[in-house]
Structures are given as structure tokens and as C-alpha cells.
Structure 1
Amino acid sequence: MNRQELHIKVRSAVHQLIHEKGYASPLDLFVKMGKISSKLVEEWRFGRVPYLERVLHGNLAQFSFIMAKLRETAREMDLKESYTVYLKWGKGPKCQLRFSKSGDTDVERNYSTHFIVKKPKAPLLAQDELTKL
């Protein structure tokens, strides 16, 4: 799959995720695009896989491109960034999960950022409308 096809697939998947869930996350995007199975995500969430990139199908350049296109699409759609902490599921200490082999702070933050639909601001009520309440 070339980069143009990949870009189209990312945009389509992001739009689907926003429609279905109201947000798009890199993890959900990778699942939707077939880069990882739900079973492997579960293994990672329970701490049985040391870092997510280890079980993603593809290479780091492809993942980086997908992440860049996710951010680009989120900007175009005027989505709000929301940092999310991923903690280990199951028994034992609830330690934070790793996404990358390097553990680089910026890379980890990019993987754990969700893009959510902004809530519309409520219009201000006129003074005469307030007195009716």
C-alpha cells in the first residue's frame, strides 16, 4: 500500500471512529486499520506484551506516517486533543503501559492522545430570556 492509499485509509478510519465513538485514538485507529488484533491489544493491556509497537503489524516509518495523518485529520476536523493514561488491567499494581520500545516521552504522549469532538458552546441568553426562567 502506497502512502496516498494509506492516507485515504487513515482519513476514512478516523471519520468512522468519530462517528461511532465521538473520538479517535491511535490504538482504535490501528485496530480499525488491521494493524493489530483486539486479542493482541488485550494481551498488551494485561501487561503480557512489554510495549505495543512489538505486536503492531508494519514498521515504525509506517506507524509514524499513520500518526502524522491522524493528527492532520484531527486538525482539519477541529478535534480537541485529550491525553489519556493507559494503565495495566488485571490483578497487581496498576503501572502505566508502554507504547514504544524507546519509551520516549513525546512518542508515548503521541500514542496516548485521543482526539475528541468539541462540545458546542451554549449561546448566551438575552436578559429577557433569563427573566422567563
Structure 2
Amino acid sequence: MLNAMQHKNTRALVDRITEAAEASLAAQGCVSPVDVLLGIGWLDPGAPKRWRRGQIDCLEAAIQTNPSRITEAMTLFRSWAAGKGLSASETQHVARTPQRQTLRFSRSGDPTIEQLYRSQWVSPQLSEKKRERLAEKASRAPELVVIQPLNAGWACHRCGGTGGLLMMENPGPACLRCVGLDDLEFLPSGDALLTRRAKAKSLRHAVVVRFSKSRGRYERQGLLVEPQALKDAQGELDAQRSE
């Protein structure tokens, strides 16, 4: 009776994984373990975002099942990918923090398990150029996000200071000086060409957002960029526009 129930549960999990993996593959030409975990409902959509912001130590801590079931699901997923003839490519995942630390997937941090999580499975029907673009996109470091707070009375959890901009960390809001971004200059939205050029010239940048109560979402206000990058970009545009 117990074996029959276990077999039924395994079959049900196989079907769920297959459905989630097929959907991701059809939508983007590739599929990762995180895509599958989201698709079968073991990860809530906000968990990867919190993980990338450094608010979760490892992604497995947010997976809503026990470790043995996670192992079973990942084994079934790799079996499905191999059966489809997909090829694996390893991607890099870094945090959306100024430190850009490598993100950890598993509780154990075992290198073999981490590599399995980082593997993205790609359709063999895609061209080599398309595969390279997918790998580059998956490994691209996420943009840093800085917030213009609605509450002017906030306090930095590190130094107790305040300011017009903050970055959220796991313990709470942090001022730009404490996170090492206070040397950047604010470039408001409005001039798309200047924004693109300044961003391209700046080795560091961060997106500035502010919460809109009327729309119920964060909206982009501009960028923080290196002052010299902004100066150079502005100089180039001024010269071009005066010709």
C-alpha cells in the first residue's frame, strides 16, 4: 500500500515537473531548476527576488518542501532534460548588492549541488548565437536598486543616519555611505540618450525608484552614475548637438 502511494506521488511529481519545464522551454528556449521550482509552486514568485537582494541565505531555505523531495524533483528534472536531448550550460548568479557576492542555492553549499542548480538547459534547436545570448542573459549581474523613501524619518540600520536615498538590506534600510554608493551622482529620467551613454561609461550604477501609492508599484526615477561618466557623456552630447 505504501509503495503504491509513493509511486503515485512520484508520478504526480513527474507530471508537474514535465508541465512546468515544457512551459518554460517553449516560452524562452531554455529551462533552469529555478524555473521548474517556480512552475510547480514550491517557490513563491517573490522568493528569488529576496534571494538576489541578499535577504535569504540560500534559495533552498525558501523552497516549500523537505530536502528529500527537492532532491527527488531535481533528479526527475535532469532526467526529463536528458530525455529531451537538451544541453546544459553553467550560469553565474550574483546578488543585487554592491558587494556582488555569489549567491548560494543549497543549504549545504556543496559545489556539486551548486553546479546542478546553476545549470541552464537549452534546446538543441537554437542557434549557437542564441544559446550564447541566453547564457549571457542568465549570468548578467542584476542592477542595483536604490529607493527614494516616502518616509523621511527612516534611519540607517548600520549607522543611524538618514538621507534622500536608501538601499534595502536584510536587517533594514541602509544609507548610501554605508553601502559604498555615496560617491555616485543622480541622473533624473527624461533624457534617454544621456542616460544610456552615462550608464555605458559608468563602471558602477544603480536604478533609483520611488513607490507610487496611486499605482501601487515602484517606478523608475533615474540612475545613480559615476560623476566623471556623467560629465563625459554630457560633454559628448553637447558637442554633437552644437554641430
| 1:95 matched to 2:101 | yes
Question: SS state of the match for residue 89, structure 2?
Answer: strand
The 1:61–1:118 alpha-carbon spacing in structure 2 relative to 1, beyond 3 Å, is same
Shift of 1:119: 3.8
Aligned equivalent of 2:213: none
Q: Distance in 2 between matches of 1:76 and 1:55?
A: 29
Shift of 1:120: 6.0
Deviating above 4 A after TM superposition, structure 1's stretches of 4 or more consecutive aligned residues are: none
The 1:96–1:120 alpha-carbon spacing in structure 2 relative to 1, beyond 3 Å, is closer
Question: SS state of the match for residue 2, structure 1?
Answer: helix
Structure of greater Rg:
2
Q: Which has the higher contact order (CA 8 A, sep 6+)?
A: 1
Counterparts of residues 1-133 of structure 1 (less than 5 Å):
2-90=9-97, 92-119=98-125
Question: SS state of the match for residue 115, structure 1?
Answer: strand
The 1:93–1:72 alpha-carbon spacing in structure 2 relative to 1, beyond 3 Å, is same
C-alpha RMSD over aligned residues: 1.4
Q: Distance in 1 between matches of 2:115 and 2:33?
A: 11
Shift of 1:98: 0.3
Question: SS state of the match for residue 81, structure 1?
Answer: strand
Question: What TM-score, normalized by structure 1, do the two folds share?
Answer: 0.85
Question: What TM-score, normalized by structure 2, do the two folds share?
Answer: 0.48
For structure 1, the 5+ residue unaligned runs are 122-133
The aligned amino acid for 1:104 is: D
Q: Distance in 2 between matches of 1:119 and 1:14?
A: 16
Shift of 1:66: 0.9
Greater helix proportion: 1
Q: Distance in 2 between matches of 1:22 and 1:2?
A: 29
Question: SS state of the match for residue 46, structure 2?
Answer: helix
Q: Distance in 2 between matches of 1:61 and 1:3?
A: 12
For structure 2, the 5+ residue unaligned runs are 1-7, 128-243
Percent identity over paired residues: 24
